[in-house]
Chain A
Amino acid sequence: MAAVTLTNVVKRFGVYEVVHGADIDIADGEFVVFVGPSGCGKSTLLRMIAGLEDISGGKIAIGGKVVNDVEPADRGIAMVFQSYALYPHMTVEQNLSFGLRMNGNPKADTERRVKRAAEILRIDELMQRRPKQLSGGQRQRVAIGRAIVREPQVFLFDEPLSNLDAELRVQMRVEISRLHKELGVTMVYVTHDQTEAMTLADRIVVLKAGNVEQIGAPLDLYDDPANRFVAGFIGSPKMNFLGAKVVETSNSAAIIELVNHGGVKLHKPLREAFPAVGAEVVLGVRPEHFFEAGEGDCDIPVKADVAEHLGSVSYVYANAGPEELIVEREASRQRASGDHFTVSIKAERSLLFDKAGARIR
């Protein structure tokens, strides 16, 4: 087991800088998920930890040892690839043992490791099959098994579930979580799926365009995002953003007017920063934080457009002036398309952002 430390890590492809000085500390045994939209540099960061990409600047240390110039095989890591990267001409058993055999590992030890991995992943029955004779989920297990036999200090996962169907993804997610508990090793996991990030991670690193936007425990990011990007990215369905303007400030609060909702005003208590009167701001409200009319600090009339009934809850896509809001409702309070209803916002269950997207607390 080992901690992983990234210090001011930069990656350039020619003149293009794609990672702009990432600082990330991953504790020994921790499960950290890098999450962000396509092109945010999350896979590049993971490949730099693996040694499959050179580092243009900064330092990467694994287990306290700087590995910038250490060969991938000597870093004590194992990686699970998005496309599984199994050797197509080898059986499952040969796939698992290939690296050990090539390195002259004693036969008995190789067999022990392969057997253990097969037992952990319950793939004993598949050992003589070739990858093309396996389902997507089975292939993924073999890919994870190949990582386990290396007995690495750090596991790296590069979007390992993105090729699986929704049901299998949930199943494999649980298995990876179980594996982490069982092995107790450091795991770094890359995904663009915030649900995967929320369910698997001890801590999440949110990336955008090569910058680390925020690092924190899943619920900390959910409840207390550092900026509008994180607020919008974490959470499904995503947070609603309502255009607003500051009309009055005091030393403990700001009164904002929701500009697209007929001048409805909200008294928003603040602790740290106080925007100027007249400043354009954005109010963030999660779908489940819309209350029944009169229960909150200000009411907004909306018209239901589409309702998605998921059983336990319903999501109502509602029009409110030029803004489309997503409102979560209990299933018993289903709304039909075209219904007019009123939602209420509580100041303490809403977040305020400035025009540039930074959080105003």
Chain B
Amino acid sequence: MRTQNATAYRFLTPYLLIFAIFWIWPIISSFLISFQATRTVPWRFAPTFNWGRLIGDPAFYNALKNTLLILVIQVPVMISLAIVMAVLLNSPLLKARGLYRFAFFAPVVVGEVAYSAVFRLMFSLDFGIINKLLNSVGIPKVDWFSNVTPAMALIMIAVTWRWAGYNAIIILAGLQSIPEDVYEAATLDRVSRLRQFFHITLPLLKPVIVFCAVLSIIGTMQLFTEPFLITERGGPGGGTETLGLLLYRQGFRSLNFGYASAVAYTMAGLAIAITLVQLWLTRDPK
């Protein structure tokens, strides 16, 4: 058995080496970098330099506020929408189900730059179809890119469009694992479809919904593409800057790797903390 294990590990060595160099080491390294002042040459160890700055940095609090705001509003809306989409996809009355599944999933595989460009066009002040539609029902044009509230709404709409279908497909798999005879038993118990949904479907979907929520929380904590490409680097005036964008700005525009690493660890820590709180809140009663 020991020889077998040794052979297996020898075969695994190339992968483990690459994993260690490009995965484990950067994680450790960035943690160490977060305790160094990286804008001096050579870098010097200064434990409170970056973390101290983080605590007092208004830009960090702005990015944190924006990220949490998106998290609190967008994730529940998107998951709710995904559940509705999954239930519709699961309906035996639906024709061309495969087509809808593809359509709902397609946004995930569309290139980020292309989708961002299309969103910018659609929400453009003068030429966008959204403003034209709003106008046609008597609502004045909205300047989606120059005001903070519409810009934040735009980010949330875009993220929801992109990921709701993806979550719907995961939830659909959960829905299909609920045995049909449980619903038949409820039908014999004179439980309406709506009550079946709230008293049977939702509780049985809980593990899948929690899984989707955890994925979405992690994704939102890292949100970068939409504020970078759609609202032009967190505009207007940092109004949509997220932690992901702050990290990018500090690390790759200002080349302040120490501070960027501290932001990265803060993001990861928050994602873990929020996920743990959520898992605790939705745990199964003993």
Spell out A's residues near B (CB within 8 Å). 50, 52, 71-74, 77-79, 81-83, 85-89, 98-99, 102-103, 146, 150
Chain B interface residues toward A at CB < 8 A:
179, 181-182, 184-191, 195, 199-200, 203-204, 206
A85 and B190 form a contact (CB under 8 A): no
Question: B185 and A146: CB pair below 8 A?
Answer: yes
Least Cβ distance of A265 to chain B in Å?
Answer: 56
**Residues of chain A contacted by B191 (CB below 8 angstroms):** 98-99, 102-103
In the complex, the answer to whether B188 meets A50 with C-beta atoms within 8 Å is: yes
A71 to B189, CA, bound (A): 11
Pairwise interchain contact A85-B181, C-beta atoms closer than 8 A = yes
Q: How far is the CA of A83 from the CA of B183 in the complex (A)?
A: 13
SS class, residues of chain B in contact with chain A: helix
A-B contact pairs, 24 of them (CB 8 A): A52-B188, A73-B190, A74-B190, A77-B188, A79-B184, A79-B185, A79-B188, A81-B185, A82-B181, A83-B181, A85-B182, A85-B185, A86-B185, A87-B185, A87-B186, A99-B190, A99-B191, A102-B190, A102-B191, A102-B199, A103-B190, A103-B191, A146-B185, A150-B188
Given the interface pairs A85-B179, A88-B204, A102-B195, the reply to whether A150 lies near B189 with Cβ below 8 Å is yes
A residues in contact with B186, CB < 8 Å = 87, 98-99
Docked CA distance A61–B181 (Å):
24
How far, in angstroms, from A87 to B195 measured CA to CA in the complex? 14
Contacting residues, chain A, for B195 (C-beta < 8 A): 102
A64 smallest CB distance to B (angstroms)? 21
Query: CA A85 – CA B188 in complex, angstroms?
Result: 12
The 10 closest A-B pairs by CB, nearest first: A99-B189, A73-B190, A85-B181, A85-B185, A89-B203, A102-B191, A81-B181, A72-B188, A85-B182, A103-B190
B92 CB to nearest chain A CB (Å): 14
Q: Report whether B182 and A78 are in contact in the complex, using a CB–CB cutoff of 8 Å.
A: no
Which residues of the partner chain B approach A72 to less than 8 Å between Cβ atoms?
187-188
Evaluate contact between A89 and B204: CB separation under 8 angstroms. Answer: yes
Closest approach, in angstroms, between the C-beta of A149 and any C-beta of chain B?
10
Docked pose: A150 CA to B181 CA in angstroms: 17
Q: Closest chain A residue to B189 by CB distance?
A: A99
Query: What residues of B have a CB within 8 angstroms of the CB of A103 in the complex?
Result: 189-191
Complex Cα distance A166/B189, Å? Answer: 31
Residue of A nearest to B191 (CB): A102
Smallest distance from the beta carbon of B84 to chain A beta carbons, Å? 21
A102: B residues at CB distance < 8 A: 189-191, 195, 199
Shortest Cβ distance from B190 into A: residue:
A73
Which residues does chain A contribute within 8 Å of B199, judged by CB atoms? 98, 102
Q: Are A73 and B204 in contact (CB under 8 A)?
A: no
Cα separation A83 to B182 with both chains bound (whole Å)? 9
Chain B residues closer than 8 Å to A86, beta-carbon distance: 182, 185
- A52 near B190: Cβ-Cβ < 8 Å: no
Q: How far is the CA of A81 from the CA of B179 in the complex (A)?
A: 12
**A86–B189 alpha-carbon span in the complex (Å):** 12
Chain B positions within 8 Å of A98 at CB level: 186, 189, 191, 199
The residue on A at minimum CB distance from B187 is A72
**CB-CB < 8 A to A83: which residues of B?**
179, 181
A83 to B188, CA, bound (A): 16
CB distance from A13 to the nearest CB of B (A): 14
Closest B residue to A89 by beta carbon equals B203
Q: Which residues of A contact B182 (CB under 8 A)?
A: 85-88
A102 to chain B, nearest CB (A): 5
Tell me whether B189 and A73 are in contact (CB under 8 A).
yes
Q: Is the CB of B188 within 8 A of A73?
A: yes
Nearest Cβ on chain A to B187's Cβ, whole angstroms: 5
* A81 touching B189 in the complex, CB below 8 Å, given contacts A88-B204, A102-B195: no
CB distance from A266 to the nearest CB of B (A): 51
For A78, give its contact among B187, B188, B204, B206 (CB under 8 Å): B188
* Cα–Cα distance between A60 and B25 once the two chains are bound (Å): 73
Task: Name 6 extra pairs, CB < 8 A, besides A74-B190, A150-B189.
Answer: A52-B188, A73-B190, A81-B185, A98-B191, A102-B190, A146-B189
Could you say which residues of chain A place their CB within 8 Å of the CB of B190?
A: 71, 73-74, 99, 102-103
Q: Bound complex: CA of A102 vs CA of B203, how far in Å?
A: 16
Q: Whole-angstrom distance between the alpha carbons of A295 and B44 in the complex?
A: 110
Nearest residue (CB) in B for A50 is B188
Q: How far is the CB of B95 from chain A (nearest CB, A)?
A: 16
A83 to B178, CA, bound (A): 12
With both beta carbons as reference points, the residue of chain B lying nearest to A80 in the complex is identified as B185
Report how far A99 CA is from B189 CA in the complex, Å.
Answer: 5
Complex Cα spacing A78 to B186, Å: 11
How many Å lie between the Cα of A150 and that of B190 in the bound state?
A: 11
Residue of B nearest to A82 (CB): B181
CB distance from A350 to the nearest CB of B (A): 44
Q: Which residue on chain B has the smallest CB distance to residue A75?
A: B188
- For A52, the chain B residues whose CB sits under 8 A away are 184, 187-188
Query: How close is B199's CB to chain A, nearest CB, in angstroms?
Result: 7
Q: Give A150 to B186 CA distance when docked, in angstroms.
A: 12
Shortest CB distance A14–B (Å): 14
Chain A residue numbers with a CB within 8 Å of B203 are 89
Contacts of A88 in B (CB 8 A): 182, 204
Complex alpha-carbon distance, A102 and B193, angstroms = 12
* A346→B188 CA distance, assembly (Å): 52
Q: Who on chain A is nearest to B200 by CB?
A: A87
